[in-house]
Amino acid sequence: MEPTHNAEEEWSHKSPKTWMVEYTVEVDEESHRHLSLIRADDVTDVHHQLLQELRKAYQTSSKVDVTVHRIEPVTTNTDTLYFEGMYAP
């Protein structure tokens, strides 16, 4: 008997992606710009992890205003020709 291979099962168990989140935090009349990399399965999970990050960073502040500018998955497209001859080991 040959083993069966289910590609759909592999696809559903893929590893989390890395997401780039760019946001501004206004607290005590000061503005702070942030750029975070978050490992998550989907955007909902990114929101939850960002909220945890904000609670940890601003736990002593009574009011925090957050404006998210960008949330997007990180893709790596590196063309080695751009770096040819620039770096040597």
Q: What percent of the chain has pLDDT over 90?
A: 61
What pLDDT shows up at residue 7? 46
Question: Sorting pLDDT into bands at 50, 70 and 90, what band is 51?
Answer: very high
- Are the C-beta atoms of 13 and 7 separated by less than 8 Å? no
User: Which residue has tokens 């750029």?
Assistant: 35
Instruction: Encode pLDDT of 5-17 as tens digits.
Output: 554 444 455 678 9
pTM for this structure? 0.68
